[in-house]
């Protein structure tokens, strides 16, 4: 059989206009089904997945006058979802779900520890694209919707979520479950309440500590401890630079264990002794026209910094030397200019339309998406299938994989699974 069918058929415009749905979860259902084809979780997605498979085969046959059969299509699609850089470990020892998944930083870390992801949700289309290219699975969409939550299977061990931080409207210092309604934390809490995973692992910006004068964090901890019945040790600020990547990125980690497991102590991982510098992640060859600054633009940055020099640290750009470590990579504003590097080796090139005017003589350039990937601990086999603008956003939003992995390892060890 020469014909090939692919999950991408679902993206075909002609296919799409046949169905008008509030949110198209078909790709997510089918890839989750295929990914769990060899285990019990498959059942959870089966009925719908078979129906979607039929739809897509019928469509393909009509469009291309074929006589394609579902069984062959199924085999091809199975191969497609499994033939990715980061497939599910063969003999997995625990199951987890990946909420606010982004490009799968948590997933990579937990798979490295022998975990199998049984549900993932992320609503950004570009992030979904990166996720599928690397893990073979398309995430479900908006997690605030009941129809998305209905797809979450029972019986997974760990819930992972790096949810955006929002204030709760509460009168006192500490709110309860109902006070968090309308926020993304509420959705996470609701899932925990319903599914009761053994452990939870939440990640957030360091600013969560002082957010709304500390009320946001106090409410989160109160809900997890008192309303949901989890043992939650004091959250800890973990810095990516302590776990083998040259990036100064501090994030708050919150872990928890269901009370009936009788786990009542937890220690966060200790910093590695071996520190690495930017040199370790620096790309050897960079397309000059894409990443080097024009001398005019560089001058604008210099002037800008001069004018605002009393505005404190972290304002404007910084030049990261090979022996330094990078500041946290961030999204938006001057995100990409915050960390510049020097590459004196490449000096003789002609400016193109990408660079208005002459390229700066010093060889100052932005970091590349691959360097951002490495700063977050993503191996080079991680596929970047999107344009640079999306790639920067995705890596800037992501977690530092080695720091997540070191913490998750401690969690898994305690769970004895
Ligand atoms: C801070 S990022 C988490 C990144 C992720 N931990 C990673 O390693 O790439 C938060 C993510 O939540 C997603 N998000 C926000 N609201 C959502 C919603 N209602 N449903 C699904 N995803 C959502 C955003 O698109 C964003 O990618």
Whole-structure pTM value: 0.93
Cβ–Cβ contacts within 10 Å for residue 387, how many?
Answer: 10
Residue that the structure tokens 């940055």 belong to: 301
Residue 64: pLDDT above 90?
no
Task: Supply the mean pLDDT for the chain.
Answer: 90
Whether residue 70 has its Cβ less than 6 Å from ligand 1: no
Please give the CATH number for the structural domain made up of 85-276+385-417: 3.40.50.150
Domain positions in the chain = 1-83, 85-276+385-417, 284-367
Whether residue 397 has its Cβ less than 6 Å from ligand 1: yes
Cβ contacts of 14 within 8 Å, gap of 6 or more: 59, 63
| pLDDT tens figures, 370-415 | 999 999 999 999 999 999 999 999 999 999 999 999 999 999 999 9
Per the annotation, the verdict on 165 as an active-site residue is yes
Whether residue 148 has its Cβ less than 6 Å from ligand 1: no
Buried b (16+ CB within 10 A) or exposed e, 222-250: bbbeebbebbbeebeebbbbbbbbbbebb
State which of 108, 121, 397, 403 you would mutate to test the pocket of ligand 1, scoring each by most atoms of that ligand within 8 A of its C-beta: 397
* Catalytic, out of 78, 165, 271, 318: 165
What's the pLDDT band for 349 if we cut at 50, 70, 90? Answer: low
| 1, 73 Cβ separation under 8 angstroms | no
Cβ–Cβ contacts within 10 Å for residue 343, how many?
Answer: 19
Tokens in use for 212?
A: 């709304």
Of the listed ranges 61-65, 194-198, 209-213, 313-317, the least confidently predicted one is 313-317
Nearest-atom index, ligand 1, CA of 163: 10
Distance, first Cα to last Cα, the chain: 43
Whether residue 123 has its Cβ less than 6 Å from ligand 1: yes
């Amino acid at each position: 059989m020469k014909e090939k069918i692919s999950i991408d058929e679902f993206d075909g415009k002609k296919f799409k206009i046949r169905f008008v749905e509030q949110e198209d979860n078909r790709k997510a259902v089918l890839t989750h089904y295929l990914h769990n084809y060899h285990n019990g979780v498959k059942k959870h997605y089966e009925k719908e997945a078979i129906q979607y498979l039929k739809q897509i085969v019928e469509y393909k046959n009509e469009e291309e006058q074929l006589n394609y059969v579902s069984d062959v299509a199924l085999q091809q699609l199975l191969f497609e979802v499994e033939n990715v850089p980061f497939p599910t470990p063969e003999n997995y020892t625990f199951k987890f779900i990946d909420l606010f998944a982004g490009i799968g930083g948590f997933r990579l870390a937990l798979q490295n520890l022998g975990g199998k992801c049984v549900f993932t949700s992320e609503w950004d289309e570009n992030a979904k694209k990166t996720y599928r290219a690397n893990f073979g699975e398309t995430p479900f969409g908006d997690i605030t919707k009941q129809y998305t939550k209905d797809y979450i299977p029972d019986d997974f061990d760990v819930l992972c979520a790096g949810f955006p931080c929002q204030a709760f409207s509460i009168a006192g210092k500490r709110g309860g479950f109902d006070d968090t309604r309308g926020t993304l934390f509420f959705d996470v809490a609701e899932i925990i309440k319903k599914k009761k995973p053994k452990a939870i692992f939440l990640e957030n910006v360091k600013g969560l500590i002082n957010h709304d004068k500390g009320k946001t964090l106090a409410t989160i901890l109160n809900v997890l401890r008192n309303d949901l019945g989890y043992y939650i040790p004091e959250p800890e600020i973990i810095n990516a630079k302590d776990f083998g990547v040259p990036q100064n990125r501090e994030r708050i980690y919150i872990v928890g264990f269901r009370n009936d497991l009788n786990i009542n102590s937890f220690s966060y991982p200790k910093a590695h002794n071996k520190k690495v510098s930017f040199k370790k992640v620096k790309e050897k060859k960079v397309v000059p026209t894409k990443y080097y600054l024009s001398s005019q633009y560089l001058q604008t940055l210099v002037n800008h910094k001069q004018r605002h020099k009393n505005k404190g640290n972290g304002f404007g750009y910084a030049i990261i030397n090979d022996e330094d470590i990078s500041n946290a990579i961030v999204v938006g504003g001057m995100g990409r200019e915050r960390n510049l590097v020097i590459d004196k080796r490449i000096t003789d090139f002609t400016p193109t339309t990408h660079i208005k005017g002459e390229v700066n003589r010093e060889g100052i350039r932005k970091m590349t998406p691959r360097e951002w990937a490495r700063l977050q601990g993503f191996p080079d086999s991680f596929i970047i299938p999107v344009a640079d603008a999306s790639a920067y956003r995705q890596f800037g939003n992501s977690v530092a994989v080695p720091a997540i992995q070191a913490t998750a390892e401690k969690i898994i060890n305690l769970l004895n699974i």
